[in-house]
A and B are shown apart, each in its own frame.
Chain A
Amino acid sequence: MILLQSHSRFLLQTLLNRVQNLEKSVELDYHWVEFDDVRYHVQVSMKNPHILLLSVSLPTPPLEAVFLGGLPFGAIEAIKAAYGVIVQILDPPRDGFNLTLKLNLSKLPPDEEYKHALLVKIASVREVVLGAPLRVILKYLASRTVAPDMDHLVALVHRPNESFFLVPQAEKVTVVFPMRFKDSIDTVLATSFLQEFVESRRTAGLSNAPPCLWSHSPPLELKGATDDALSANAGFVTFVIFPRHVEGKKLDRTVWNLSTFHAYVNYHVKCSEGFMHTRMRRRVESLIQALNRAKPDQEKTKKTAHTRSFKRLSLKDSCTNSSS
């Protein structure tokens, strides 16, 4: 799986199980965590088997991207637009969570395909909620305008205590990611990966993709941001998004890909390290085999352990013994 999928597989599985056994009363209480510190809680009680309570906790935003009202701006409208009457937002949300949704599974549409698509959309609640501000800005870009009273430099959270930056304009939106990694090996691998982004954009066939730049120092767009927002040990990646990247169906995909860019690079850095370990182990085994070939004695000792020597007694010997 090269690309990260927008729906949570465990959540989708749980929803599908529930929908298939809607009349069976079960008690469900699941907690789990996903990448970048997004936590989920699903609860179903025996009394109301068709009601499912879904709570989501988002990564802590840094100072420049604080949530007003506990949720990113535009999140509530996005939830209502995506889910309609099936979902009711509970206010206040459960303790420790940013959002609690009450799903009424009996109100799902009867058509199988439509129902499945809607359940996949519910399992993508992370994309809908966390990606809501980005979606708002990109929707304005699709109509080549800028949202009223929008700051020049917008900070949105994508990891705990870290944010990425947007410069929304009428004809393009510039997105800047400061890339930070805790481990020094991760940083070097990520830097080589990020430089590949710039290189592969130049290849043919990708000229329609957003222009991509990597720089070691903060780019000019970030003038005016706070100092700790400007420190990044693996450099800064800049994408320029044009209206053609956000028209129609492409909007959701673009929102997801940009929101999870850092997670995507991190995931592949870790996969790369795992692959290197497997290779190194294989190499160690082949070297030890080469060393064992230098030992000749093992074969000889094997033979002497198992072979026996016999001396045949002939009749002549036994005859001479008795006579003399």
Chain B
Amino acid sequence: MANTLRLYLTCIRNTLEAAMCLQNFPCQEVERHNKPEVELKTSPELLLNPVLICRNEAEKCLIETSINSLRISLKVKQADELENILTKKFLRFLSMRAEAFQVLRRKPVQGYDISFLITNYHCEEMQKQKLIDFIVQFMEDIDKEISELKMSVNTRGRLVATEFLKQFI
């Protein structure tokens, strides 16, 4: 189980290292505008082939690159109803704070749970390796956090039930 996680993350890391070659590119259509080309997708010569990395049916990662921007979309595994609402709650919490994260997109791409948008400006401000480290660590942290939240709910449930039933003895 942990094996496939390592492979999945290494694959994503390698793809990001190859994909994160961003340079400034002013908009071709409108004068004096500078837009992330991966969001608009108007000129096919500025876009690279999107790469889809699947760990299994439930978990996948879509990496779309263009000349000045890169979009990473993640789908997180949700095994049961409880994990479903915990994931939704947690990722919505993060997306609402997208301003603080800078590289996070406010709404995930259709079909995915969370998305990042990295532009050439981010690459100029931050080191490329450290940025890739951040993305990979983010993915690990999401998994860890969801499983810890689920465990805390189960532990609390057991404690609550035990205390209640003890009252009758």
Residues of A within 8 A of B (CB): 2-3, 184-185, 188-189, 191-193, 195-197, 199-201, 203, 206, 208-210, 212, 241, 245, 250, 253-254, 257, 261, 264-265, 268, 271-272, 275-277, 279-280, 283-284, 286-288, 290-291, 293-297
Please pick, from A200, A245, A288, A295, the residue contacting B158 in the complex, using a CB distance under 8 A.
A200
B30 contacts A by Cβ under 8 Å: no
Q: Is the CB of A297 within 8 A of B125?
A: yes
Given A279-B148, A291-B101, verify A201-B165 contact (CB < 8 Å): yes
List of A residues within 8 angstroms of B100 by Cβ: 284, 288
Residue of chain A at shortest CB distance from B167:
A257
Complexed CA–CA distance, A199 and B158 (Å) = 8
B21 contacts A by Cβ under 8 Å: no
Count how many chain B residues have C-beta atoms less than 8 Å from C-beta atoms of the other chain.
44
Complexed CA–CA distance, A87 and B77 (Å) = 61
B131 contacts A by Cβ under 8 Å: yes
Chain B positions 127-169 with a Cβ under 8 Å from a chain A Cβ: 127, 130-131, 133-134, 137-138, 141, 145, 148-149, 152-154, 156-169
Residue of chain B at shortest CB distance from A191:
B81
Complexed CA–CA distance, A54 and B33 (Å) = 72
A138 shortest CB reach to chain B, Å = 12
Residue of chain B at shortest CB distance from A296:
B127
List of A residues within 8 angstroms of B97 by Cβ: 284
B131 shortest CB reach to chain A, Å = 5
Complexed CA–CA distance, A276 and B167 (Å) = 27
**B interface, over-half SS:** helix
List of A residues within 8 angstroms of B149 by Cβ: 276, 279
Given A276-B89, A280-B93, verify A210-B126 contact (CB < 8 Å): no
Q: Is the CB of A294 within 8 A of B134?
A: yes
Given A283-B145, A294-B134, verify A245-B165 contact (CB < 8 Å): no
Q: Is the CB of B166 within 8 A of A209?
A: yes
Q: Is the CB of A192 within 8 A of B154?
A: yes
B121 contacts A by Cβ under 8 Å: no
Q: Is the CB of A245 within 8 A of B134?
A: no
Q: Is the CB of B141 within 8 A of A257?
A: no
A56 shortest CB reach to chain B, Å = 24
Complexed CA–CA distance, A178 and B82 (Å) = 21
Residue of chain B at shortest CB distance from A281:
B93
